[in-house]
Chain A
Amino acid sequence: MSTPFEYAPAPESRSVVDLRPTYGLFVGGEFVDGHADPLKSVNPATEEVLAEVATADADDVDAAVRAARRAYQRTWSRMSGSERGKYLFRIARLIQERSRELAVLETLDNGKPIKEARDVDVPTAAAHFFYYAGWADKLEYAVAGGGTPQPLGVAGQVIPWNFPFLMLAWKVAPALAAGNTVVLKPAETTPLSALLFAEICQQADLPPGVVNIVTGAGATGQAVVSHADVDKVAFTGSTDVGRSIARAVAGSDKRLTLELGGKAANIVYDDAPLDEAVEGIVNGIFFNQGHVCCAGSRLLVQESVAEEVLERLRRRMGTLRLGDPLDKNTDVGAINSSAQLARIRELVEAGEAEGAERWSPPCDLPERGYWFAPTLFTGVSQAHRIAREEIFGPVLSVLTFRTPAEAVEKANNTPYGLSAGIWSDKGSRALWTAERLRAGVVWTNTFNKFDPASPFGGYKESGYGREGGRHGLEAYLKGADQ
C-alpha cells in the first residue's frame, strides 16, 4: 500500500549497549574461559558478528555444576526464604533499570523487533522475577500436602533462541525462589542477554555459584542435562531435542520438565468479532516472526466467513512493516539464523509442492541478513506437511471447518498440544470448545497473552510440566513427604 505518510526511520540507539569483543562463561560468580571452540554470535538482521563467546566442554560444565552444588549446600538452600526473595526482588528491579540495554541487546542478537523486546520480553521477564520473589518465603503454600517443601538441588536448564531473556527468567526465577541453584545453557545463536544477566547477578551481589551460565551448542547442553550431579532438568526447545533429553535422563532420579513444539489451532467462528480476530491471527503467527512455540500457526476458520476473514487478513498483512529490527516501527524482524531460514524455506516449498496456495503481501526484503516475508497458505488440508509440522516462522496455514465439532476435531488432530485460540462472541460456544481442546493453554478472543501467575505448558508431544504460577514452582520443589 503506498501512502504519503511514510514513517521516517526511528531507530533505537545501540549506544546503550556496551558490547564486549569476547565473553567468557559465568561460573562461581565470575567470568572464566571456556575450553571448547568459541562461537561467534551474529546479528541476524545484518550478519554482523556481535561478539565471540566462549563455549563450555564437559569439564567446564562439571566446574559449573560443582560451583552450583557448593552454593546450594553452603548458602542458598540454607538461606531463609525472605532473604532469597530480597535477592530476587533486587534482580527484578535491576532488570527494569537496565531494560533498555537488555531490549536493544536482545534485538541485536535475536533479530526480533525492538518494540517486542521492549514491550514484551523484558517487562515480562522482570514480572517473572517479581512474581517468584514473592513466593520465596511462602513455599509451604506452593505444594499440596502440608509441611515446608524442599528444593531439589542443582537445576540444569537449557533454553531456546526465540525468547532468550524471557525463557531465562521463566527458568531461573522459580528455581531460585524455591532454593535451587542453576546451571543454565542459553542457545548458541543468542547467548548475549544471558551473559548480561550474569552481570546483573554480580550487580545484585547474588552469592557466587547460585547462577552459572555455560554457553555452547548441543554438546554443551548434552553435558548439562546428563551431568550426574544435576537433580533437575528443564528444557524448552524442539520436540526432537526434548526426546533425546528424555532418553538421557531416563533411569536416573533427575526430575524433568519439557516445553517443546506446537502447531496451535486458532479457531475463528462465524460470530467472532472479525476485526479483532484478524488482529489475533496476525499476532498469533507473526509475533516474533512466528518463532513462538505456542504460535497460532493453523488458522481454522468457519467456512461461512472464510472469504471475508481472508480478505481482511490479507489487507492487514499488507500493513505489516518488515525491516530493521531496531526501528521502533518495525512489526516483523529477522529470522534468527540461516539454519532456521533454510528450514522455513524447505517447509514452504513442500507446501507449494503439495498443492497449497502461497501468498505474501508486497514486501521488500533487506539484502543482507536472514529474512522471510509474512506468508499465508490457503487450500491447506490436514495431510499437508505445513499443517502438521512446526514451521517456527512467519507462515500461516489456513484450513476451514463447517461445525464446532469439526473445528475441535481438526484442532486436536496433531501430535502437539501446547496452545489454541478461540474467537467467538458467544461465551457458551467458547467454553464448550475450550473444554474439548487438548492444549495446555487456550486463549479466547485473544492470543499470546503471558502472565507470570498463569501456568504454561503442553500436552502430548508439546512436553510435560508447567512453567509460571504456583504450578511452575512445584517443578522445583519436593514435598515434605518426598
Chain B
Amino acid sequence: MTSLSSTASSLADVTTSDAALRRFLHGLPGVDQVGVEQRVASLATRSIKTTAKAYALDLAIRMVDLTTLEGADTPGKVRSLGAKALRPDPTDPTCPSVAAVCVYPDMVPYAVEAVTTPGGRLHVASVATAFPSGRSSRSIKLEDTRDAVAAGADEIDMVIDRGAFLTGRYLDVFEEIVAVREACARPDGSRAHLKVIFETGELQTYDNVRRVSWLAMLAGADFIKTSTGKVQPAATLPVTLVMLEAVRDFRASTGRMVGVKPAGGIRTSKDAIRYLVVVNEVAGPDWLDPDWFRFGASSLLNDLLLQRTKMSTGRYSGPDYVTLD
C-alpha cells in the first residue's frame, strides 16, 4: 500500500512502465463517496463573517484566473478583460488585481498587451493541447503549446487525454504531460507554468480523481485543474477536496508543492469562500495563496466585487455598479 511514507526515490520507479504506474495508482487508498461528500457538507457550514470574510473576499479576487474561452472572442473583448483584471473595481484603488487572465492561444498577444502596465504585468494563461477535447495528435498539441508560449503565455492550461486515462493507458497520459511540460520551455531556459486539466466531469469517480492527480503530479504538473468549463459538472467541492488531499499528500512524500485550480461553475462569493475553507482545513494554510490556488472563473469576480463593496459600505449595490468586463 502506498502511503505518505513512500519515498521520493520509490516514486521515480513507478513511472518506468505502464504496469508499474497502474500498480501504483490502483494502490492508492480509495475514496469513499459518501464520506467525502459528508465532509464537504460539514465544511460548508463554516460561518465566515466580518474580518474573516473581508480577508477571504480579497484573497479570492487575487486568486481569480479571469477567463474568456469563447469562439466569439476578439482582441477587443480580450483587451477589456485585461483592463478588468488589472483594476477589477475602478472606483476603489484598494481592490487587488486578479491573478491572471486566461484565453485561447491566438488571443495571448492581445492579453499580454492588455495586462502590461509601467509597473509590471499580470500573468497570462493560455489553454492549449487542442482544448477542450484534447482530441488531436500529440504533435499538434505540442505545437499548440509552443505557439502559446512563444506568444508570451506565462502559464499553459493543458487538457489530458481522457480517452487514454479511461481505457487505462496511464503511461500515455503521463508521457504526454511530460512532453507538454517540455514544450513549455522558453529559449532563455525558463519555462511556462503548467496546469493540467483533468475534466473531472468525464472521469466521474473520486477514485479516478485521486489517481489522475497523482499521475499529473508525478509527470511534473505545477498545478492540477478540475475542468475546462465546457463539460458539466465542472468544478465541485468534493472533487476539489480530493485534489487538495492529493497535493497535501504529494508534498508530504516528495517535498514538492503543487497548486490546485477548480474551474467552471463557481459563481458566487459564498461558493468561493467555501472553497477557501476547504483549502484551509484540508491542504492547509500554505495553499492560501494565488501561487498555489486559483479560481478559473468569469462571472465570480463581479459577485466578489459586489460583496466587497457591501463589506465596506454596508449596502448592496446592483449589477450596474460593477463593470461587465
Residues of chain A at the chain B interface (Cβ within 8 Å): 1-10, 115, 119, 270-277, 279-280, 304-305, 307-308, 311-312, 319, 328-329, 425, 445-446
Q: Are A6 and B52 CB-contacts (below 8 A) given A270-B1, A329-B46?
A: yes
Q: Mark B42-58, 1 if CB is under 8 A from A, else 0.
A: 00011111111101100
Residues of A within 8 A of B218 (CB): none
Closest partner residue, chain A, to B289 (CB atom): A4
Are B285 and A273 in contact, with the CB atoms below 8 A? no
How many B residues touch A, CB cutoff 8 Å?
Answer: 33
Give the distance in Å from the alpha carbon of A173 to the alpha carbon of B285 in the complex. 46
Q: Which of B16-24, B27-35, B153-161 contacts A (4 or more CB under 8 A)?
A: B27-35
Closest partner residue, chain B, to A311 (CB atom): B4
Q: Does B136 contact A (CB under 8 A)?
A: no
Q: What are 14 A-B pairs with beta-carbon distances under 8 A?
A: A1-B284, A3-B284, A4-B288, A5-B52, A274-B29, A275-B36, A276-B36, A277-B35, A279-B35, A304-B1, A305-B3, A311-B4, A328-B47, A329-B47
Give the distance in Å from the alpha carbon of A307 to the alpha carbon of B59 in the complex. 36
Give the distance in Å from the alpha carbon of A90 to the alpha carbon of B21 in the complex. 60
Give the distance in Å from the alpha carbon of A1 to the alpha carbon of B288 in the complex. 13
Give the distance in Å from the alpha carbon of A274 to the alpha carbon of B35 in the complex. 10
Q: How far is the CB of A452 from chain B (nearest CB, A)?
A: 19
Give the distance in Å from the alpha carbon of A273 to the alpha carbon of B35 in the complex. 9
Central interface residue in A274, A279, A425, by most chain B CB within 10 Å: A274
Residues of A within 8 A of B32 (CB): 273, 276, 425, 445
Central interface residue in A8, A276, A277, A305, by most chain B CB within 10 Å: A276
Are A280 and B35 in contact, with the CB atoms below 8 A? yes
Q: Which residues of chain B from 52 to 110 have a CB within 8 Å of any chain A CB?
A: 52-53, 55-56, 59
Are B34 and A6 in contact, with the CB atoms below 8 A? no
Q: Does B276 contact A (CB under 8 A)?
A: yes
Q: Does B281 contact A (CB under 8 A)?
A: yes
Q: Does B245 contact A (CB under 8 A)?
A: yes
Give the distance in Å from the alpha carbon of A122 to the alpha carbon of B212 in the complex. 41
Residues of A within 8 A of B29 (CB): 272-275
Give the distance in Å from the alpha carbon of A312 to the alpha carbon of B39 in the complex. 15
Are B285 and A3 in contact, with the CB atoms below 8 A? yes
Give the distance in Å from the alpha carbon of A304 to the alpha carbon of B49 in the complex. 43
Q: How far is the CB of A332 from chain B (nearest CB, A)?
A: 13
Give the distance in Å from the alpha carbon of A391 to the alpha carbon of B288 in the complex. 38
Q: Which of A2, A8, A308 contacts B51 (CB 8 A)?
A: A8
Residues of B within 8 A of A319 (CB): 281
Residues of B within 8 A of A9 (CB): 49
Q: Which 9 A-B pairs have the closest CB atoms?
A: A276-B35, A3-B285, A10-B47, A273-B32, A276-B32, A328-B47, A8-B52, A274-B29, A425-B30
Q: Does B204 contact A (CB under 8 A)?
A: no
Are A7 and B36 in contact, with the CB atoms below 8 A? no
Q: Does B232 contact A (CB under 8 A)?
A: no
Are B288 and A5 in contact, with the CB atoms below 8 A? yes
Cβ-Cβ contact count across A and B, 8 Å cutoff: 88
Residues of B within 8 A of A271 (CB): 1, 30
Are B49 and A8 in contact, with the CB atoms below 8 A? yes
Beyond A5-B285, A10-B48, A270-B1, 9 additional contacts (C-beta under 8 Å) are A5-B280, A7-B48, A7-B52, A272-B30, A274-B29, A275-B36, A308-B4, A308-B5, A329-B47
Closest partner residue, chain B, to A445 (CB atom): B32
Give the distance in Å from the alpha carbon of A446 to the alpha carbon of B38 in the complex. 10
Residues of B within 8 A of A1 (CB): 284-285
Residues of A within 8 A of B1 (CB): 270-271, 304-305
Are B56 and A5 in contact, with the CB atoms below 8 A? yes
Closest partner residue, chain B, to A270 (CB atom): B1
Residues of B within 8 A of A6 (CB): 51-52, 55
Are B39 and A279 in contact, with the CB atoms below 8 A? yes
Q: How far is the CB of B274 from chain A (nearest CB, A)?
A: 13
Are A275 and B31 in contact, with the CB atoms below 8 A? yes
Residues of A within 8 A of B284 (CB): 1, 3
Give the distance in Å from the alpha carbon of A6 to the alpha carbon of B52 in the complex. 6
Closest partner residue, chain A, to B56 (CB atom): A5
Residues of A within 8 A of B38 (CB): 279, 446
Closest partner residue, chain B, to A447 (CB atom): B35
Are A328 and B36 in contact, with the CB atoms below 8 A? no
Give the distance in Å from the alpha carbon of A4 to the alpha carbon of B5 in the complex. 29
Q: Which residues of chain B from 187 to 201 have a CB within 8 Å of any chain A CB?
A: none
Give the distance in Å from the alpha carbon of A311 to the alpha carbon of B49 in the complex. 32
Give the distance in Å from the alpha carbon of A8 to the alpha carbon of B53 in the complex. 8
Q: How far is the CB of A476 from chain B (nearest CB, A)?
A: 33
Are A4 and B55 in contact, with the CB atoms below 8 A? yes
Residues of B within 8 A of A329 (CB): 46-47
Q: Which of B31, B39, B48, B285 contacts A4 (CB 8 A)?
A: B285
Give the distance in Å from the alpha carbon of A280 to the alpha carbon of B35 in the complex. 8
Q: How far is the CB of B87 from chain A (nearest CB, A)?
A: 24
Give the distance in Å from the alpha carbon of A275 to the alpha carbon of B34 in the complex. 12
Q: How far is the CB of B45 from chain A (nearest CB, A)?
A: 6
Residues of A within 8 A of B281 (CB): 319
Q: How far is the CB of A73 from chain B (nearest CB, A)?
A: 47
Closest partner residue, chain A, to B59 (CB atom): A5
Give the distance in Å from the alpha carbon of A275 to the alpha carbon of B238 in the complex. 13
Closest partner residue, chain B, to A305 (CB atom): B1
Q: Which residues of chain B from 219 to 238 have a CB within 8 Å of any chain A CB?
A: none
Q: Mark B1-14, 1 if CB is under 8 A from A, else 0.
A: 10111000000000
Residues of B within 8 A of A7 (CB): 46-48, 52
Q: How far is the CB of B243 from chain A (nearest CB, A)?
A: 12
Residues of A within 8 A of B280 (CB): 3, 5
Give the distance in Å from the alpha carbon of A2 to the alpha carbon of B286 in the complex. 10
Closest partner residue, chain A, to B48 (CB atom): A7
Q: Which residues of chain B from 125 to 165 have a CB within 8 Å of any chain A CB?
A: none
Are A115 and B34 in contact, with the CB atoms below 8 A? no
Residues of A within 8 A of B46 (CB): 7, 328-329
Q: How far is the CB of A368 from chain B (nearest CB, A)?
A: 23
Q: How far is the CB of A456 from chain B (nearest CB, A)?
A: 20
Q: How far is the CB of A5 from chain B (nearest CB, A)?
A: 5
Q: How far is the CB of A157 from chain B (nearest CB, A)?
A: 32
Closest partner residue, chain B, to A308 (CB atom): B3
Give the distance in Å from the alpha carbon of A119 to the alpha carbon of B43 in the complex. 13
Q: How far is the CB of A56 from chain B (nearest CB, A)?
A: 39
Are A307 and B5 in contact, with the CB atoms below 8 A? yes
Q: How far is the CB of B253 from chain A (nearest CB, A)?
A: 11
Q: How far is the CB of B17 from chain A (nearest CB, A)?
A: 24
Residues of B within 8 A of A311 (CB): 4
Closest partner residue, chain B, to A6 (CB atom): B52
Central interface residue in B3, B31, B35, B53, by most chain A CB within 10 Å: B35
Q: How far is the CB of B32 from chain A (nearest CB, A)?
A: 4
Give the distance in Å from the alpha carbon of A303 to the alpha carbon of B4 in the complex. 15
Residues of B within 8 A of A280 (CB): 35
Q: Which of A2, A8, A273 contacts B31 (CB 8 A)?
A: A273
